[in-house]
Structure 1
């Protein structure tokens, strides 16, 4: 999604509206209504996901990873579309669902089933705002950092995730950081965590380390900007020497 989520969803909205208008001209008024509704939902998501607005809370994802009933109904054209698209894309992909970056630290895509989870019952950092937590996968703790696809968590959210993960690592609990596919949002948070744990000097070296393990990652300018801001204002001191937690 190099052109950005808001542009693609905006195009989807326009396409759905044209289908609605075409069906209306043919006299299929009742059949056309769902296309109008889906078009309006897509337009709303397109606006809310634009970098100048960036409002992932629009979808109402709860801190436990669930979605309230009102959201599942209101945003069903978008929420169920992205779930289906994610499953189909993963079926066609030859990429592993997750990759171990360093011992006990994993980055990857949405775990739609227990088979998509790393071993060791890891603590989970979920960087999606559009995909649900699978409650049959309990994990050793769960943190939601809701972020639109192709967007980046803000520096404060990155810092909170890093501090949470460091506490888990101090208890020798493995960590799994995921977004939809393990290419952008989750990679940004993993870069910051690697710096905080020690072993890499900055997020750029962390990105190289992750790419060695997961070649198809692709952070964009927004991810890199968030990491630069986090690096300048971070509160969590890096671990060095004997204190490094790799």
Structure 2
């Protein structure tokens, strides 16, 4: 899942981005609408975390304008405004959810995940493939009942493969949804994570390479 964080306070932006990355999400950052529009024009996001008040003004009006022009990505607004009328204005402008500052980090992560799921096809909270079980909410993966310790990036790649099973997932799709804009498409980051997953999940190998196309899960049946 890929998220855009739009926040003019560099310290808050860095904290939000770090929290979301620690949860396995790919995160891009923007300080204002000008930079956000550039990101939105070239990347496919599952959710936008948007500060209500930016240096260039209240985000409600710009969001409303972009909704009218066809922007459909789910938006979670961060706000220090506690008046119920401000919240109503935000929802009327096109926000899908609201979190007040200061916020509880784990709640923010779960709300972002919920919006990411809302933006696409709804998938089960627990994904299963043969002897592999992935609890998305708890961030736990088990194979044959044994807990596997995965890094956030390993979890994100495996989740992508399980969600799209039995289809092949291309390297490009993995990079676009599991890495942020700092990732070099020509690098071997995907190969490294796939190799790590294969090693951790053990035999028989569950992830196969489809030459020239990408990766998919191999059925044990």
- When normalised by structure 1's length, the TM-score is 0.29
Compare the two structures and name the one with the higher helix fraction: 1
Compare the two structures and name the one with the higher strand fraction: 2
